[in-house]
Structure 1
Amino acid sequence: MTTQTSAPRQQRDTDAPRDDTADCPLIPVVGGDVRVPLVDGSETRYINLDYAASAPALEVVAAHITEVLPLYASVHRGAGYASQISTAVYENARVVVGDFVGARPKDTVIFTRNTTDSLNLLASVAPGETVVLDLEHHANLLPWLGAASGARVLRSAATLDETLTLLDAELTARPAALLAVTGASNVTGEVLPLRRLATLAHRRGTRIAVDGAQLVPHRRVDIAALGIDYLAFSGHKTYAPFGAGVLVGRSDWLDAGDPYLLGGGAVISVTLDATEWRVGPARHEAGSPNVIGVAALARALQELDTLDPVEWVAHENELRARLVSGLEALPGVSTYRIFPDLGDAVGVVSFSVAGLDSRLVAVVLSAEWGIGVRDGKFCAHPLLERLGVAGSALRASVGVGSRQADVDALLTALASILADGPSGEYELESGHWQVVNDTRPRPDWAPELAPAAGYYGCAG
């Protein structure tokens, strides 16, 4: 067991209000002003800089769900009034989603659990080989590598232009059914040129699928205008954390492929000798669907649709620029980028602090400053290796509920940690840093979590 501590220093006035008076979020989110305890016994407003993992619910989404719940019931097969209302809410959500992302008239909108589920569904019906880049989140890498139709991973070059040249040569030499790419990197926030990629793919007879998990919550996406064949994204990253995801795209592969789930609702008729399957969304949505999650996602998209697109991008660009410049001004702090010739990016920034374990920094930021960031490899192990990240890194991410004061709080905290180290005592147990004798109170409904019990998968 390793212990990390430094000499006590004068207590900060963490309970003093931060100057947020002229610094408002674009859209209010649930928990935007919630206060959390610190290890010194004080409390402060929670600074959520982990939007890229799971964004908070919009206040209007939470209010909408409160309205919907009294009339929640089974959908599609119920004659009761509540069932009729729930069915209308569920099916109308397809229209809302399709309109928001610019779906073509014949595109299919299928509701899933999340982006990972959507991409696994698409991988199960793809009729041929898929080409994928090495900079993807595992959700847009592992499904293709495990698909029966096969996949090839193309290693990206030092620049975007060189990578596109390599990709064009790869698809020319060995045609593929599908190109799967990220819309915006969950590690660096960089936005790939989707129109260029779609044109390149279509010129070689290849369709394009986009992992929109980090793009849709930050930008308007018009799949028809961009030439995107399939788009996947998640409600929990799009300010509707109620467990719904979406796959939108061309219907022919989806109607021809085997049903993703086998069960009620996906069939026209069943005998002991034969089954006749539906086409359309129902083919892949067997069982009772997540009506509440779908209703939440649709309401979130309706609210995002009210934003002026220019103002939306400007808000996030300002926060990102403030974050990047502030981080790069701190001694020993390095930020990461994939391509030097790619300028567009959403509010996701990864960085490392020389000489400090990123896991410890994240715990100190939470325990002593009330700031939530992400540490680890962000479910993008090959990309972290490409970027030369030893061990793990830190990631700060913002969204429509973020403020300049949130960014400034992180920069102030990091500067203090670099100058004085942590004020509390921490121990490394089973590979994870813990506060020694943590006395921070928890809500009555929140159970205790055993050390390291909540860490698995992509954290390492």
Structure 2
Amino acid sequence: MSPALPPAVPSSAVLSPGDVKLRNGRTVDFANLDIAATAPCLRVVADAVAELLPYYGSVHRGAGALSERCTREYEQARETVADLLGCADGDTVVFTRNTTDSFNLLARALPADTTVVTFDAEHHANLLPWPRTVRLPAPRSAGEAVEALTHSLYNLGGNVLVSVTAASNVTGELWPVAELADIAHRFGARIAVDAAQLAPHSQVSLAELGADYVAFSGHKIYAPFGAGVLVGRADWLDAAPPYLAGGGASANVAADGAVRWATGPARHEAGTPNLLGAVALATALRALAGTDHRRGEEALVRRLRAGLAELPNVEELRLFPADAPRVGIVSFAVLGADPGDLAVRLGRDHGIGVRTGLFCAHPLTRQLLTEAAERLGTTAAPTQAVRASVGLGTTHEHIERLLDALQQIAQP
């Protein structure tokens, strides 16, 4: 069992580059508003990795003090993830590289006749891996998502997996995962949840989400050391061929080539595992446990959205109604300014980091850009959007600096 959970993590607990030099020679505190892409590292995570590095050695495959320590740390990291996500008997934790890797692993493990139901609003990690899909149009509300899934499942038989995001990486809007899970289970389907953008802001629980599978990345939860997890029901994973064939996944290889594969998580973790990534991810998850950072981010997001609404030629991208609950992500279109040039100016002239592009969610972002252009009175939609994302370390000054900079850049 895990010991008592720590209190909410303060912003000072995040590593930061501090001041950066602008093009005019001044220095300012760097405003990292690209946290949704890759979050900075928690100090406690960096400390845990630094403490383990002198003992770095083989996991599961060696003898002696180093291997014993590293094997113990790796499996304790797995137990921490299982404990904090509320895994039940019959669930497993497989360490992967990231959310995309997790869904590709799950796609390989699906029974052959499985149909995957997802939405056009998904990140590519949840659009592209599945071999047989039903893609539903992006819903305009939480209720519409539930209704669309219900109608879709009426017409499907056999094994069905519903796979949805918990929080959009484009709009930040929270999806009605628990309601979707209830509908899926009512029709005998399973549900997988992309929690990559939920996990940094709110504790993830398999039971509360009603999820059969959850996937997320360490680099989204302030542990940028190249690890992710796929957590959930073990039966499909145990029955599937190994995700990667190699050492660790093989329990025995006979001279005639016959292979007996390992059972449990090892079946899909061939090769030398990412020990530091697993320890970092588990450490970050523990540090964030028991907190809901959305409460601290609400004022920042509210100010950002209100400020954007006052700017000419700027339009927020959203799918659900304006008052829908969300995490700390706001994307917007800027008419008359090249998004790439805008991002460069924000960085070099104002010390601000943002993301531009289609955010690995091309169908959704293009749709929302077209709608934003129409609201601004033009049919010439920008080809890319701008995304500002907040998290630990974001201050009100960072938001005001962004709004002031956009006021200068987006003038008609």
> What TM-score do the two structures reach when normalised by structure 2?
0.91
Residue type of the partner of 2:133? Answer: A
Aligned to 1:275: 259
Aligned to 1:199: 182
Q: 1:322: Cα distance to partner?
A: 1.5
Query: What are the equivalent positions in structure 2 for 1:88-127 lying under 5 Å apart?
Result: 88-127=72-111
Aligned to 2:403: 411
Provide the rounded CA distance (Å) in 2 between the counterparts of 1:408 and 1:329: 13
Query: What are the equivalent positions in structure 2 for 1:349-360 lying under 5 Å apart?
Result: 349-360=330-341
Q: 1:126: Cα distance to partner?
A: 1.2
Q: 1:342: Cα distance to partner?
A: 6.7
Provide the rounded CA distance (Å) in 2 between the counterparts of 1:157 and 1:102: 30
Residues 368-408 of structure 1 show CA distances to partners (whole Å, capped at 9, x for unaligned) of 01100000000000101221443000000011222222111
> Does structure 1 conserve the Cα–Cα contact (< 8 Å) formed by 2:181 and 2:211?
yes
Provide the rounded CA distance (Å) in 2 between the counterparts of 1:269 and 1:302: 36
Provide the rounded CA distance (Å) in 2 between the counterparts of 1:342 and 1:169: 26
Unaligned segments of structure 1, at least 5 residues: 1-23, 422-460
Question: Is the counterpart of residue 239 in structure 1 residue 222 in structure 2?
Answer: yes
Residue type of the partner of 2:141? Answer: T
Q: 1:284: Cα distance to partner?
A: 0.1
Q: Give the SS at the match of 1:110.
A: strand
Residues 38-60 of structure 1 show CA distances to partners (whole Å, capped at 9, x for unaligned) of 11222221110000100000011
Provide the rounded CA distance (Å) in 1 between the counterparts of 2:91 and 2:145: 30
Which of residues 351, 363, 368 is equivalent to 2:344? Answer: 363
> Does structure 2 conserve the Cα–Cα contact (< 8 Å) formed by 1:259 and 1:283?
yes
> Does structure 2 conserve the Cα–Cα contact (< 8 Å) formed by 1:51 and 1:397?
yes
Aligned to 1:10: none
Aligned to 1:426: none
Which of residues 129, 137, 150 is equivalent to 2:123? Answer: 137
Aligned to 1:346: 327
Provide the rounded CA distance (Å) in 2 between the counterparts of 1:328 and 1:28: 32
Q: 1:25: Cα distance to partner?
A: 4.8
Aligned to 1:220: 203
Count of aligned residue pairs for this structure pair:
389
Question: Is the counterpart of residue 30 in structure 1 residue 18 in structure 2?
Answer: no
Provide the rounded CA distance (Å) in 2 between the counterparts of 1:188 and 1:64: 33
Aligned to 2:308: 327
Which of residues 62, 74, 81 is equivalent to 2:58? Answer: 74
Question: Is the counterpart of residue 297 in structure 1 residue 314 in structure 2?
Answer: no
Provide the rounded CA distance (Å) in 1 between the counterparts of 2:323 and 2:180: 14
**Which of structure 1's runs of 4+ aligned residues deviate more than 4 A?**
none
Q: Give the SS at the match of 1:300.
A: helix
**Segment of structure 1 superposing worse, 376-385 or 33-42:** 33-42
Which of residues 387, 395, 398 is equivalent to 2:368? Answer: 387
Q: Give the SS at the match of 1:255.
A: helix
Q: Give the SS at the match of 1:219.
A: coil
Superposition CA RMSD, Å: 1.6
Q: 1:287: Cα distance to partner?
A: 0.4
Which of residues 116, 138, 142 is equivalent to 1:160? Answer: 142
Residue type of the partner of 1:46? Answer: F
Aligned to 1:431: none
> Does structure 1 conserve the Cα–Cα contact (< 8 Å) formed by 2:314 and 2:335?
yes
Q: Give the SS at the match of 2:271.
A: coil
Q: 1:27: Cα distance to partner?
A: 4.9
Residue type of the partner of 2:364? Answer: L
Provide the rounded CA distance (Å) in 1 between the counterparts of 2:186 and 2:409: 52
Residues 339-365 of structure 1 show CA distances to partners (whole Å, capped at 9, x for unaligned) of 127711000110112221211111110
After superposition, the Cα gap between the structure-2 partners of 1:229 and 1:342, relative to the gap in structure 1 and judged at 3 Å, is farther
Provide the rounded CA distance (Å) in 2 between the counterparts of 1:112 and 1:72: 19
**Segment of structure 1 superposing worse, 366-375 or 216-225:** 216-225
Q: 1:102: Cα distance to partner?
A: 1.9
Residues 43-91 of structure 1 show CA distances to partners (whole Å, capped at 9, x for unaligned) of 2211100001000000111111111100110111211101111111100
> Does structure 2 conserve the Cα–Cα contact (< 8 Å) formed by 1:137 and 1:379?
yes
Provide the rounded CA distance (Å) in 2 between the counterparts of 1:163 and 1:250: 24
> Does structure 1 conserve the Cα–Cα contact (< 8 Å) formed by 2:149 and 2:180?
no
> Does structure 2 conserve the Cα–Cα contact (< 8 Å) formed by 1:126 and 1:177?
no
Q: 1:225: Cα distance to partner?
A: 2.7
Provide the rounded CA distance (Å) in 2 between the counterparts of 1:193 and 1:88: 38
Unaligned segments of structure 2, at least 5 residues: 1-8, 371-380
Q: Give the SS at the match of 2:20.
A: strand
Q: Give the SS at the match of 1:90.
A: helix
Aligned to 1:59: 43
Residues 224-253 of structure 1 show CA distances to partners (whole Å, capped at 9, x for unaligned) of 232100000000111000100100000000
Q: Give the SS at the match of 1:249.
A: strand
Provide the rounded CA distance (Å) in 2 between the counterparts of 1:61 and 1:356: 39
